[in-house]
């Protein structure tokens, strides 16, 4: 196994939500054709959130749907009954402006979000603040962005586009007004584009700082790389769980699994035979505290099935130094 180029490494949900057949090339901005805007309609500002620190205001406009555009959504009530609601057809007026806004918002809010997360995120913040590993800022931005893709967006502002709130017994977004589906589709595509940018920054070349950390077996690089891997694994497990909930195609699970195997193998292979005792004794007290904390956290964690456990994917640093990493194959193509 070897580390593949960034185009083959992915740790987030890729692909649309099957809400429209308009945008064949997801590398291009999802722009509505000028002739599809509803005659006489005007742009209005709507504010929405995904419930995870990211709140966005953008201009939307009513359009005429085509065949292939989803115009409603299903929700599940407390009794497990599936119900359908129709939604008005609105779309983002200026996708390029939204993408720029998304870049700014994630960059400015990722660290505050990370501070509310687990021990690895907190250690990453320390490594950023002390100047030891500033590149972890990009990783936190990527992690914050991919988390957004697992959430459901709903309207928070006063302009609700005539959309009623979901019933209080809805299992997802109770008493909230969901976004029109085309807006959801466009925003999801642009978030995918943003995440691809961050992956290029993180893994795009042999000169990328995180690649150097993964392959350079000194004490500092080993510690920084392991913190980064823990963040990658923790978030990818969340993405896999989200994919399971959404009952999406298994090929995405295989892609996520392959990417984790690739980067963890690279880290482990570069450190086979490295002296763990020397590594441990060379750590700062802050770094030692990190490993002590995650040992306690991992010993108290229980997960079923096993792939929901961090240690299933990412063994301890000592194990990765002494035992060749074996790729995990839980998900299979077409299964």
The predicted-structure confidence for 294-335, as pLDDT tens digits, reads as follows 999 988 877 778 888 899 999 999 999 999 888 887 876 544
pLDDT tens digits along 168-207: 888 778 899 999 999 999 999 999 999 999 999 999 888 8
State how far the Cα of 152 lies from the Cα of 205, in Å rounded to an integer: 33
Cβ–Cβ under 8 Å, residues 89 and 73 = no
331 in a domain, yes or no?
A: no
Domain assignment present for 190: yes
For residues 95 and 188, give the distance between their C-alpha atoms in angstroms, rounded to a whole number. 11
CA dist 93 and 32 (Å) reads: 8
Q: How far apart are CA 170 and CA 167, in angstroms?
A: 6
Report the pLDDT averaged over residues 114-121.
Answer: 96
**What domain range includes position 98?**
6-322
Residues 6+ apart with CB under 8 A from 53: 109, 112, 113, 144
Q: 252 and 13 in contact (C-beta within 8 Å)? A: yes
Structural domain includes residue 291: yes
Does the residue 105 lie in any domain? Answer: yes
* 111/106 Cα distance (integer angstroms): 9
Question: Which range has the worst mean pLDDT, 1-10, 100-109, 218-227?
Answer: 1-10
Distance of CA 135 to CAs 221, 252, 329, Å? 12, 27, 30
Question: Considering the domain boundaries, does residue 158 fall inside one?
Answer: yes
Residue 180 confidence (pLDDT): 95
User: Per the domain annotation, does 335 fall within a domain?
Assistant: no
Give yes or no for residue 79 having a pLDDT over 50. yes
Structure tokens belonging to residue 212: 């150097």
Q: Report the number of distinct structural domains present in the chain.
A: 1
| Residues 6 or more apart whose Cβ sits within 8 Å of residue 280 | 288, 291
Residue 146 CB partners (closer than 8 Å, separation 6+) = 11, 12, 13, 195, 235, 239
In a domain, 138, yes or no: yes
| Band (250; pLDDT cuts 50, 70, 90) | very low
What is the layout of strands, in order, in the sheet containing 55-62? 90-92, 55-62, 44-49, 154-155, 177-178
The pTM score is: 0.81
Structural domain contains residue 327:
no
* pLDDT at residue 72 greater than cutoff 80: yes
């Amino acid at each position: 196994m070897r580390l593949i180029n960034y185009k083959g490494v992915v740790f987030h949900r890729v692909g649309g939500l099957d809400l429209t057949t308009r945008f064949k090339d997801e590398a291009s901005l999802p722009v509505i054709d000028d002739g599809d805007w509803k005659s006489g309609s005007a742009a209005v500002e709507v504010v929405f959130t995904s419930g995870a620190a990211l709140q966005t205001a953008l201009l939307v406009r009513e359009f005429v749907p085509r065949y292939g555009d989803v115009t409603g959504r299903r929700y599940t009530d407390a009794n497990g009954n599936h119900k359908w609601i129709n939604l008005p057809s609105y779309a983002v007026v200026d996708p390029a402006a939204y993408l720029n806004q998304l870049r700014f918002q994630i960059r400015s809010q990722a660290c505050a979000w990370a501070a509310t997360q687990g021990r690895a995120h907190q250690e990453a913040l320390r490594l950023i603040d002390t100047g030891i590993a500033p590149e972890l800022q990009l990783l936190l931005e990527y992690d914050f962005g991919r988390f957004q893709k697992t959430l459901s967006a709903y309207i928070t502002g006063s302009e609700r586009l005539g959309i009623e709130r979901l019933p209080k017994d809805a299992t997802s977004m109770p008493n909230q007004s969901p976004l029109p589906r085309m807006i959801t589709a466009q925003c999801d595509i642009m978030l995918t584009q943003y995440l691809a940018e961050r992956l290029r920054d993180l893994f795009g070349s042999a000169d990328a700082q995180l690649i150097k950390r993964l392959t350079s077996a000194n004490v500092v690089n080993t510690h920084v790389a392991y913190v980064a891997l823990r963040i990658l694994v923790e978030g990818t497990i969340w993405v896999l769980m989200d994919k399971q909930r959404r009952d999406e195609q298994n090929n995405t699970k295989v892609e996520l699994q392959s990417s984790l195997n690739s980067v963890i193998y690279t880290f482990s292979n570069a450190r086979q035979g490295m002296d763990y005792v020397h590594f441990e004794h060379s750590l700062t007290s802050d770094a030692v505290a990190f490993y002590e904390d995650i040992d306690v956290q991992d010993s108290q964690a229980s997960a079923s099935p096993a792939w929901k456990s961090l240690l299933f994917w990412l063994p301890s640093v000592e194990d990765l130094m002494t035992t060749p990493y074996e790729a995990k194959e839980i998900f299979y193509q077409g299964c």
